[in-house]
Amino acid sequence: MTRPIRAVIDLNALRYNCAVARRHAGVAKLWSVVKANAYGHGLERAVKALKEVTDGFALIEVDRAIQLRSAGMSLPILLLEGFYAPDELPVFIRSRLIPVLHRIEQVRQLVESGWPADLPVYLKLDTGMHRLGFDAEGLAAAYILLAGKVDEIVLMTHFADADGPRGVAWQLERFDAMTVNLTVTRSLANSAALLRFPEAIGDWARPGIMLYGGAPFPQLRSAAELDLKPVMTLQSEIIAVRALAPGESVGYGCTFIAEQAMRVGIVACGYADGYPRHAPTGTPVLVDGLRTRLLGRVSMDKLCVDLTELPEKVGAGGTATLWGEGLPADEVALAAGTISYELFCALASRVPVVELG
């Protein structure tokens, strides 16, 4: 018998969410962000589903971008961290990969590489995130080096708190101040900005998490309220049922101790499948569509759920939904002190995937 765990990936939901992004983007174009193996959903699968409905794909991994090209992808491909060493430039040129440049050395190296003028270049501006990007002086220097060498320069920035209380106005102001004398194409919004700040979208939006049905600001609006559908549903089965007497514990560390007689279901899913080990007792789980809670420590291959209040017939062979359809990943993430991004990206390669749509 094969282990009953599976991740169901609903490609119709992925396309639906992309249509939601399109609706918010208006006339702006969409880079679908598919880094980190499409946030754990499978790069080829996501690309197959989105290629008719997006304007391009953005990712970090150069080797995966080359694979997409080799497989015949003809849409624009954006490399969000550009190239890491100048010896990658011939590959960028051959595969027509658009780099995001963030350091002046990269600009110099690109200019010296025989870069074709018709292949666009993105320049990243640091407007407050303080990770990557040019300041005003660096931007001016980059422009001088690129003058006459590339036909299209797109200016991009990334928002630090589009999902939080500071919002984006402070970064937009800096962006405008840095680009005041330039007539430019702009790439600004991640999912949070796309959904919250129509003034901060730019010409090319870069939605990621919303495509996969995660809410970028779940404390403010749920995925359902944002009209987003879950794409990944992680499911397994109850492979054993245990009766606990008062005072007995379950799992490593004996962290959960029953205060009354309890029925506990043992689910074939653990941290080696991508379920967060730090999820505490009380984290929501669905069993046969009924809501219950995680008990005790998550182990490598198993976790325990409370069946005490569920009907007697719910037992071994019952379906446990860890997140997805019927149980938003955002809720599980919140209970586990993380974000849906991390849950999705952590899906382990040993979990078989079932595609829908």
Ligand X SMILES: Cc1ncc(COP(=O)(O)O)c(C=O)c1O
Q: Which residues bind ligand X (CB under 6 A)?
A: 33, 80, 158, 190-192, 206-209, 216
Q: Is 99 helix (H, G, I), strand (E, B) or coil?
A: strand
Q: Cβ contacts of residue 94 below 8 Å, gap of 6+?
A: none
Task: Say if residues 231 and 21 touch (Cβ distance below 8 Å).
Answer: no
HEC-encoded secondary structure of 33-92: ECHHHHHCCCHHHHHHHHCCCCCEEEECCHHHHHHHHHCCCCCCEEECCCCCCHHHHHHH
Question: Residue 275 Cβ, how far from ligand X at the closest point, in Å?
Answer: 21
Q: Kindly state the smallest distance separating residue 212's Cβ from ligand X, in Å.
A: 8
Active-site option among 35, 124, 229, 302: 35
Q: Which residue's CB is nearer to ligand X, number 46 or number 287? A: 46
Taking CB atoms, the residue at the shortest distance from ligand X is: 208
Which tokens in the block code for residue 295?
A: 């008990």
**Distances from the Cα of 162 to the Cαs of 159, 201, 295, 332, in angstroms?**
6, 11, 35, 22
Nearer to ligand X by C-beta: 202 or 324? 202
What is the layout of strands, in order, in the sheet containing 121-124? 185-187, 153-156, 121-124, 97-101, 77-79, 56-59, 29-33, 204-205
252 in active site: yes
Q: DSSP secondary-structure letter at 336?
A: T
Question: Which structure tokens are listed for 98?
Answer: 């658009």
**Closer by beta carbon to ligand X, 58 or else 285:** 58
Residue 122: name the closest of 88, 93, 82, 83 by CA. Answer: 82
Q: How far is the CB of 195 from ligand X (least distance, A)?
A: 9
Closer residue to ligand X, CB minimum distance, 9 or 228: 228
Look at the block and give the residue holding tokens 């993430």.
Answer: 333
The tokens 């300041």 sit on which residue? 135
- By C-beta, is 99 or 216 nearer to ligand X? 216
345 Cβ contact partners less than 8 Å away, ≥ 6 residues apart = 36, 37, 39, 40
Residues 329, 331, 333, 336, CA torsion sign: negative
Q: How far is the CB of 234 from ligand X (least distance, A)?
A: 19
Question: Between residues 33 and 168, which has the closer beta carbon with respect to ligand X?
Answer: 33
The answer to whether residue 149 is catalytic is no
51, 212, 252, 302: the catalytic one is 252
> Least separation, in Å, of the C-beta of 213 and ligand X?
12
Reported as type and span, the H/E element at residue 106 is helix 104-111
Residue 190 or 235: which CB sits closer to ligand X? Answer: 190
**Minimum CB–partner distance for residue 163 and ligand X (Å):** 7
Tell me if 200 sits within 8 A of 317, measured CB to CB: no
Nearest approach in angstroms of CB 279 to ligand X is 22
Name the amino acid, one letter, at 157: T
What are the catalytic residues?
35, 252
